């Protein structure tokens, strides 16, 4: 008699993904779709890419040589002071004004059409924010390369840590900018709010010159500006100091600001007027 065939083993049942895991997977998939759409739109705009990258490079090339013979009252070269400041300035200015693009899409009805699709509202925010971080990161790398050509000397680990600070800060401000764009009606309103907030913060943070050169009262006021701690931390890592209290404080303030901005952005995005 032929041998009795051995029955195939029954595969063990696999655990079904939890609702939380499915929600995160759906959010990540939607975020990638929005990120890809926004990135393709950015790459198609050659003029915007060119001038967006040219502005910080021109600023560094034209302003940097003015500081080479000045005593800035800090250790290291003037380039180790200026380049980190310009990096944080790029994150501050670039991240704060990206909401104008969202506002234009909103006025054209594009955002309303996307919000009635199954795409997660949070993905609409995160996808655009990641696109902005990618664009500002590329600009930051070009800026560092130009600084190296002018005479910047910084360890590779310090440069990478500095770029990480800039990426976190630009993401936080970009998310907040998009949230603001969902609450105002016109580009002039957005520009007025952004200009009023950004310019004093940029000046008080000591981005171009260290606040140690400022009068005592101005230096004291600048301690209330979180960007001061970020730029001081970036300057420290560019000098090769990774474990100082300045770096730890800058990291804590930057991460705390990022969490606060993301929370505020999600609230503004969810309560947007139609």
As a three-state string, the secondary structure of the chain is CCCCCCCCCCCCCCCCCCHHHHHHHHHHHHHHHHHHHHHHHHHHCHHHHHHHHHHHHHHHHHHHHHHCCCCCCCCCCHHHHHHHHHHHHHHHHHHHHCHHHHHHHHHCCHHHHHHCCCCCHHHHHHHHHHHHHHHHHHHHHHHHHHHHHHCCCCCHHHHHHHHHHHHHHHHHHHHHHHHHHCCCCCHHHHHHHHHHHHHHHHHHCCCCCCHHHCCHHHHHHHCCCHHHHHHHHHHHHHCCCCCCHHHHHHHHHHHHHHHHHHHHHHHHHHCCCC
Q: How confident is the model over 255-271, as pLDDT tens digits?
A: 999 999 999 998 887 76
Residue 217 CB coordination number (10 Å)? 8
What residue has token string 């600023």? 59
Residues whose CB is less than 8 angstroms from the CB of residue 183 and which lie 6 or more positions away in sequence, other chains included: 268, 271, 272, 273
Res 210 pLDDT > 70? yes
Of 25-34, 67-76, 99-108, 121-130, least confident by mean pLDDT is: 67-76
Where are the domains positioned within the chain?
22-64+74-270
Average pLDDT of the chain is 83
Q: Which of 6-20, 35-49, 156-170 has the highest mean pLDDT?
A: 156-170
Confidence of residue 75 (pLDDT cuts 50, 70, 90): low
Q: Measured at the alpha carbon of residue 265, what is the angle toward residues 117 and 259, in degrees to the nearest 5?
A: 125
What residue has token string 């005592």? 216
Q: Which pTM was predicted?
A: 0.83
- From the number of C-beta atoms within 10 Å of its C-beta (0-12, 13-18, 19+), residue 174 rates as buried
Tokens of 72: 């800035």
User: What is the per-residue pLDDT for 274?
Assistant: 47
What residue has token string 């959010």? 27
Q: Measured at the alpha carbon of residue 33, what is the angle toward residues 126 and 41, in degrees to the nearest 5?
A: 85
Tokens of 28: 């990540």
For the chain, how far is it from start to end, CA to CA, in angstroms? 78
């Amino acid at each position: 008699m032929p041998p009795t065939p051995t029955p195939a083993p029954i595969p063990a049942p696999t655990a079904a993904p939890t609702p939380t895991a499915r929600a995160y997977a759906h959010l990540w998939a939607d975020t990638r779709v929005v990120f890809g759409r926004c990135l393709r739109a950015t790459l198609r705009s050659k003029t915007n890419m060119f001038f967006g990258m040219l502005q910080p490079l021109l600023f560094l090339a034209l302003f940097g040589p003015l500081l080479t013979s000045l005593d800035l009252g800090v250790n290291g070269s003037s380039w180790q002071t200026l380049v980190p400041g310009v990096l944080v300035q790029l994150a501050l200015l670039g991240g704060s004004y990206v909401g104008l693009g969202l506002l234009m899409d909103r006025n054209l009805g594009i955002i309303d059409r996307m919000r009635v699709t199954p795409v997660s509202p949070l993905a609409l925010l995160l996808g655009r924010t990641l696109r902005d971080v990618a664009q500002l990161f590329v600009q930051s790398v070009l800026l560092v390369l130009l600084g190296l050509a002018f005479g910047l000397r910084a360890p590779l680990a310090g440069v990478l840590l500095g770029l990480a600070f800039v990426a976190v800060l630009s993401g936080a401000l970009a998310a907040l900018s998009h949230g603001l764009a969902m609450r105002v009606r016109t580009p002039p309103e957005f520009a007025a709010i952004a200009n009023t907030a950004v310019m004093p913060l940029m000046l008080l943070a000591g981005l171009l010159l260290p606040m140690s050169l400022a009068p005592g009262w101005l230096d004291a006021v600048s301690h209330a500006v979180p960007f001061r701690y970020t730029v001081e931390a970036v300057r420290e890592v560019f000098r090769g100091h990774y474990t100082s209290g300045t770096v730890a404080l800058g990291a804590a303030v930057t991460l705390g600001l990022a969490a606060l901005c993301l929370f505020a952005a999600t609230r503004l995005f969810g309560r947007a007027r139609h």
